[in-house]
Amino acid sequence: MGAASKWACRMVLCGASLATTLISHPASAQEDVKAYYAGKTVRMIVGSGPGGGYDVFSRMIAPYLSKVLGTTVVVENRPGAGGLSSMNFLYTAPPDGLTLSLANGSGAAFAQLTNQSGVRYDLTKFHYLATVGAPPSVWLVDPNSPIKTIAEALARKEKWRWAASGVSSGLAIGAAFTCVALHKDCQVVAGYSGSNQAALALTRGEMDAMFQAESSAGHFVKSGEAVALATMSRKRSRLFPDHPTIFEAADLTPDQSWYFDFYDTISNLGRIMIVPPSTPPARVAYLQAAMKETLHNPQLIADGERAERYVDYLDPESTLANARKVISEPTADQKRRVLDIIAGISGEDVK
């Protein structure tokens, strides 16, 4: 079990009001920052197109955060380079506390670890408001595919075509790790603008497979756009409890297990809510408290459960610790192996 899942707590047990969280700050400072936000517009940046998992989560959270802050919270889609464009944008955005983002922490971490061209941020320098959740990923296939089990997938001789959205996206990296670990002949096509477009390619039979986060995978399976094979983690998905994990479904060697465990560790960084590095401390504290109150709102939690978009709050300090762990702890050899995997993405063959 990853660090995030150990630390994560359900909302009904961990709630606290904005006023309670800020009680240690002088009353005048609290009033000043509250007055600062009153009536303003806060932008919530999403690094993918409309309709994808991060977009849905952001639009689900925005009205609840708006009520807590006393602001208008608007969701702004800034797709590009698998989320790198939005990360770079946020890193240099005005540090006024009016711009934040629900970002793909694992994709951002992989991009920084591998010194991907275009990365202009340091994940350890952002201010963290929370982890919204860190769901496991699922191996999906074309709904008309004859492949229905991992055993059948491993026996397949033809090349696997994986749909992805950007070289640094979880879709692309998860697919590449899977292909390398299982010694499959694959092509990862990282040209789709988001998970919805990737799923459409799967439905049309243009692509064979997709590596997708649990909640989005549940949506695509329920709508008939994909079929699930297995959860790519040591823990079964709450949405697919009858589907095995890759560790249960395949007889993995220690080396093969390392690939899936390494990916899972970084995936535990999950959906992170962040603000620019230079945001004033008082505003960071206010936003952290507001986000905590928002993510503990029983109505928001119920909304998420109905939509199978689960909210699992993790505090800012633990989220930052996760970011530092995944950026600083991998060895030089591990980084080299990851670099080799990433080098095989962008429409090239991955083996």
- How much is the pLDDT for 100? 97
* Residue 350 bridge partners (DSSP): 186
d(CA 291, CA 307): 20
pLDDT number for residue 8: 35
The mean pLDDT value for 309-336 works out to: 92
Helices (H), ranges, the chain: 3-7, 11-14, 18-21, 27-37, 53-69, 84-91, 105-113, 150-155, 170-182, 195-203, 214-222, 246-249, 254-267, 281-295, 298-306, 316-328, 332-342
pLDDT digits (tens, 9 = 90+) for 43-101: 999 998 888 889 999 999 999 999 999 999 999 999 888 788 999 999 999 999 999 99
Res 27 pLDDT > 70: no
Tell me whether strands 209-213 and 227-231 are parallel, antiparallel or unpaired: unpaired
User: How does pLDDT run across 181-240, given as a tens digit for each residue?
Assistant: 999 999 999 888 888 899 999 999 999 999 998 988 998 999 999 999 999 999 999 999
**CATH number of the domain located at residue range(s) 137-261+334-350 in this protein:** 3.40.190.10
Q: Which of 19-23, 205-209, 261-265 shows the lowest mean pLDDT across its residues?
A: 19-23
pLDDT score recorded for residue 287: 98
Q: Where are the domains of the chain?
A: 3-134+267-332, 137-261+334-350
pLDDT reading at 286 higher than 90: yes
Percent of the chain with pLDDT over 90: 67
Tokens (6 digits) for 295: 């993510």
Categorize the per-residue pLDDT at 339 as very low, low, confident or very high, splitting at 50, 70 and 90.
confident
Is the confidence at residue 296, as pLDDT, over 60? yes
CB 7 within 8 A of CB 314: yes
pLDDT, average across residues 319-324 = 94
| Residue-wise pLDDT tens digits, 243-257 | 999 999 999 999 999
Note the CATH number of domain 3-134+267-332: 3.40.190.150
